[in-house]
Structure 1
Amino acid sequence: MKGKNKISIAACSGMSPYGLVSRATSSDTVAETDNTISICMGATSADKDGFRNLIKKYPIIALSGCDGNCTQKILEQKGVKPLKNIIVMDELNKKDLKPTDVSRLDDNGEICVEYMKNKIKKELKEFEI
Structure 2
Amino acid sequence: MKSEKIALCPCNGMSPYGLIARAASSDMVEESSDIISICITATSADKESFRNLIKKYPIMAVNGCEHGCVDSILEGKGVKVAESMNVMTPLQEKEMKPGSVARLGESGERCVVEIKKKIEDLLEK
Deviations 1:71-112 (A, max 9, x none): 110010000111111001112111111111000111110000
Aligned positions, number: 124
Residue ranges of structure 1 left out of the alignment (5+ in a row) = none
Q: Does 1:117 align with 2:108?
A: no
Change over 3 Å in CA distance of 1:89–1:52 after alignment to 2: same
> 4+ runs of 1 displaced by more than 6 Å?
none
User: In the aligned structure 2, how far is the partner of 1:62 from the partner of 1:13?
Assistant: 11
**Match runs of 1:53-72 below 5 Å:** 53-72=52-71
CA contact (8 A) 2:7 2:57 kept: yes
User: In the aligned structure 2, how far is the partner of 1:19 from the partner of 1:8?
Assistant: 17
Partner amino acid for 1:123? L
The match for 2:26 is 27
The match for 2:74 is 75
Q: How high is the sequence identity, in percent, across the aligned residues?
A: 52
CA contact (8 A) 2:3 2:58 kept: no
Query: Once superposed, what is the RMSD of the aligned Cα atoms?
Result: 1.1
**Match runs of 1:37-56 below 5 Å:** 37-56=36-55
Residue ranges of structure 2 left out of the alignment (5+ in a row) = none
Partner amino acid for 1:90? T
User: In the aligned structure 2, how far is the partner of 1:9 from the partner of 1:96?
Assistant: 25
TM-score, length basis structure 2: 0.95
